[in-house]
Amino acid sequence: MLSGLKDRVQVKTILNTESHLEGKEVTLAGWVYNRRAHGNLLFIDLRDGTGIIQISIHKDKVPQKVFKDVERVTRESSVIAKGVVRSDRRAPGGYEIDLKDFHIEGLAEEWPLPIDAGVDVLFDKRHLHLRGEKQTLIMRVRATVFDAMREWFKQNSWTEVHPPIIISASVEGGATLFKMDYFGEVAYLTQSSQFYLEAMIQSLEKVYCINPSFRSEKSKTPRHLTEFWMAEAEAAWMDLEDITRVEEQLVSYICQVVAERHRKDLETLGRNPDDIGSVKPPFDRISYREAIERIKKKGMKIDYGDDMGADEESKLTEDLHKPMFVLEYPKDLKAFYHLPKPSDPSIVMCGDCEAPEGYGEIIGGGQRIHDKDTLIKRIKEDKLKPADYEWYIDLRRYGTVPHSGFGLGVDRLVRWVCKLDHIRATIPFPRTMTRRVP
């Protein structure tokens, strides 16, 4: 243990204890969030990994050197502070610290992010911007979303698997593949782990993975990243309705957990936790055809057969309070692997889950083609080469079963849950068309 930190307590411990630390001397280590002066009285807001606490420094009650150090300490300097816990109803967390001793570990240079810094400046300095209160809360909520997903899958007997990131053929169309040189051959970064999950259901039946996915999408929208996180699941013996039910249960569970564990954080972010806590199954289910009619009625120009973009999905979902499924799209709008509807093969048995309040698509999924000849026909229709999908076709040669799956865009879900304008705020170091640094 670092010398000087033997008696360290974290801010949360002080704020959580019913005064059992009151009157005790404690050591705190953290960063100077803010400093204010009122003549002979100085205040520091000290931030550590668990919260923020106010420290007060009386000129008459500390050695001169200590007072001088507090006077010169700058915003975001790292410090070790010793002091006595005092309850104070006016203090933000109900307690504050009367400083006794103070050590500056790393004196910070002038903080380069002014209060009125624009988005570009903030994201150029994202490695520093992440220290902000709002950013910290979003990262906590994000971590809980990942916890909740794993909890739900575990509780429902799904097995976590680990597909590769380096792949050899497209899942969601060649246009958005990131290409790389692989020892003189071509390889790509994965767009989706779906095909690998389809291989693994043959032994494990219900599998999931939580992986980054990559798409070189030239979309400058508030909901597109070029590197994003997807939770994907695949199950043998499930049809579209079965997998849709899985999706609504998973999304509801995540919402319950976040609302319960982050009430205050959500409020600070401007999201009413009850909006999220009230998300429970069943979600409405409408057809693509119905979705197009609804969007038309709202005055947008769109026809049957057109794809829904961000604007159309926003219109469709602006008045909703919980997610909704849009099922059964025309096959030309979707990738080749979706199962054609037996009664009308121009439609596929897919389903997108649309988040409410205008956020739009968070999940894409559905039932897969499990017949070999149909799959080969669809691959050719999409002008792809069956040879590139040999192993995927093999899955239909050796004990094929009806099966379904989905991919949940985790960053998009976090954006909705935290009520954020832009997806870049959901992830520590966003990758977009115009950003790969820091």
CB of 230 to ligand 4AD, least distance (A): 5
Please say which residue, 30 or 360, places its beta carbon nearer to ligand 4AD.
360
Name the binder of 45 from ligand 4AD, Mg ion, none, CB < 5-8 A by kind: none
Name the binder of 405 from ligand 4AD, Mg ion, none, CB < 5-8 A by kind: ligand 4AD
Reduced to 3 states, what is the DSSP secondary structure of residue 154? helix
Length of the chain: 438
Reduced to 3 states, what is the DSSP secondary structure of residue 158? coil
Task: For residue 409, state whether it binds Mg ion (rule: CB under 5 A).
Answer: no
CB of 277 to ligand 4AD, least distance (A): 22
Distance CA 349, CA 330 (A): 9
- The DSSP symbol for 191 reads S
Q: Which of 247, 409, 417, 424 binds ligand 4AD (CB under 6 A)?
A: 409
Classify burial at 106, counting beta carbons within 10 Å of its beta carbon; exposed 0-12, middle 13-18, buried 19 or more: exposed
Q: Which amino acid is at 78?
A: S
- The maximal CA–CA distance of the chain, rounded, in angstroms, is 87
**Among candidates 135, 65, 74, which has minimal Cα distance to 102?**
65
Q: Which of 396, 405, 425, 432 binds ligand 4AD (CB under 6 A)?
A: 405
Number of Cβ within 10 Å of residue 353's Cβ equals 24
Name the binder of 224 from ligand 4AD, Mg ion, none, CB < 5-8 A by kind: ligand 4AD
Residue that has been written with the tokens 């000849």 in this structure: 373
Radius of gyration of the chain (CA): 26
Q: Which of 33, 95, 406, 416 binds ligand 4AD (CB under 6 A)?
A: 406
> For 385, left (φ over 0), alpha (ψ -120 to 50), or beta?
beta
Distance CA 346, CA 122 (A): 47
Span near ligand 4AD by CB under 6 A; candidates 131-139, 277-285, 318-326, 355-363:
355-363
Name the binder of 426 from Mg ion, ligand 4AD, none, CB < 5-8 A by kind: none
Span near ligand 4AD by CB under 6 A; candidates 63-71, 80-88, 269-277, 408-416:
408-416
Q: Which of 54, 170, 192, 432 binds ligand 4AD (CB under 6 A)?
A: 192
Outline where 172-287 has alpha helix (H): 194-204, 240-261, 263-268, 273-277
Name the binder of 360 from ligand 4AD, Mg ion, none, CB < 5-8 A by kind: none
CB of 146 to Mg ion, least distance (A): 21
Task: For residue 351, state whether it binds ligand 4AD (rule: CB under 6 A).
Answer: no
Q: Which amino acid is at 229?
A: W
CB of 345 to Mg ion, least distance (A): 21
253 touches 240 (CB < 8 A):
no
- Residues 6 or more apart whose Cβ sits within 8 Å of residue 234: 194, 197, 198, 200, 201, 206, 207, 208, 403, 404, 405
Residue 66: C-alpha distances to residues 45, 46, 62, 193, 242 (Å): 16, 16, 6, 57, 66
Span near ligand 4AD by CB under 6 A; candidates 68-76, 151-159, 307-315, 402-410:
402-410
Distance CA 284, CA 239 (A): 18
Task: For residue 215, state whether it binds ligand 4AD (rule: CB under 6 A).
Answer: yes
For residues 351-370, which are near Mg ion according to CB under 5 A? 364
For residues 115-174, which are near ligand 4AD according to CB under 6 A? 171-172
For residues 359-388, which are near ligand 4AD according to CB under 6 A? 361-365
Number of Cβ within 10 Å of residue 78's Cβ equals 15
Total chain residues near ligand 4AD (CB under 6 A): 22
CB of 202 to ligand 4AD, least distance (A): 16
Give kind and range of the element (H or E) at residue 313: helix 310-317
Name the binder of 315 from Mg ion, ligand 4AD, none, CB < 5-8 A by kind: none
Name the binder of 33 from Mg ion, ligand 4AD, none, CB < 5-8 A by kind: none
Q: Which of 98, 124, 151, 217 binds ligand 4AD (CB under 6 A)?
A: 217
Please say which residue, 56 or 192, places its beta carbon nearer to ligand 4AD.
192
Distance CA 418, CA 57 (A): 37
Q: Which of 170, 194, 314, 426 binds ligand 4AD (CB under 6 A)?
A: 194
Please say which residue, 41 or 175, places its beta carbon nearer to ligand 4AD.
175
Q: Which amino acid is at 196?
A: Y
Q: Which residues bind ligand 4AD (CB under 6 A)?
A: 171-172, 192, 194, 215, 217, 224-225, 228, 230, 232, 361-365, 405-407, 409, 411-412
